[in-house]
């Protein structure tokens, strides 16, 4: 990945790890949605993490709530989203909620439902 991309991201994120807030450490580019899961190489899908957070995220299975907190923090620290809320109840008539809701700069509302990978794994017989 070109160094100028990392430089632009570092400037955008004030040289800070988007997960833990660490500064003054080497930062690594991290795909918010991995390429293997359909993510793109576009800068809107990239963030910066310190090596510790990057390894923790890459080598670990998160519970759904842990991942919701991780994603919510990344959105919170992004200039592209605002009004980020977790566990938002969307309807009184039907018990419907979204794990995370957010508004993007273009005025669109986002409803994000996060699933743990185990939710898609068949149970052992």
Q: What angle do CA 96, 84, 48 make, to 5 degrees?
A: 125
SS3 33: coil
In angstroms, rounded to a whole number, what is the distance separating the alpha carbons of residues 17 and 101? 23
Contact 98, 111 (CB under 8 A): yes
SS3 29: strand
In terms of pTM, does the model score above 0.85? Answer: no
Q: How would you write the pLDDT of the chain (125 residues) with one tens digit per residue?
A: 556 999 999 999 899 998 888 899 999 999 887 888 788 888 888 999 999 888 887 776 667 777 777 778 878 877 778 888 887 666 666 656 668 888 888 888 887 776 654 443 334 43
């Amino acid at each position: 990945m070109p160094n100028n991309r990392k430089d632009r991201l570092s400037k955008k994120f004030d040289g800070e790890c988007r997960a833990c807030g660490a500064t003054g450490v080497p930062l690594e580019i991290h795909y918010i949605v991995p390429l293997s899961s359909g993510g793109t190489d576009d800068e809107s899908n990239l963030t910066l993490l310190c090596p510790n957070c990057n390894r923790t995220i890459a080598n670990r299975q998160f519970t759904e709530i842990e991942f919701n907190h991780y994603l919510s923090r990344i959105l919170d620290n992004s200039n592209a989203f605002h009004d980020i809320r977790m566990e938002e109840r969307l309807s009184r008539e039907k018990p419907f909620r979204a794990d995370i809701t957010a508004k993007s700069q273009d005025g669109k509302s986002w409803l994000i439902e996060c699933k743990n990978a185990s939710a898609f794994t068949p149970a052992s017989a």
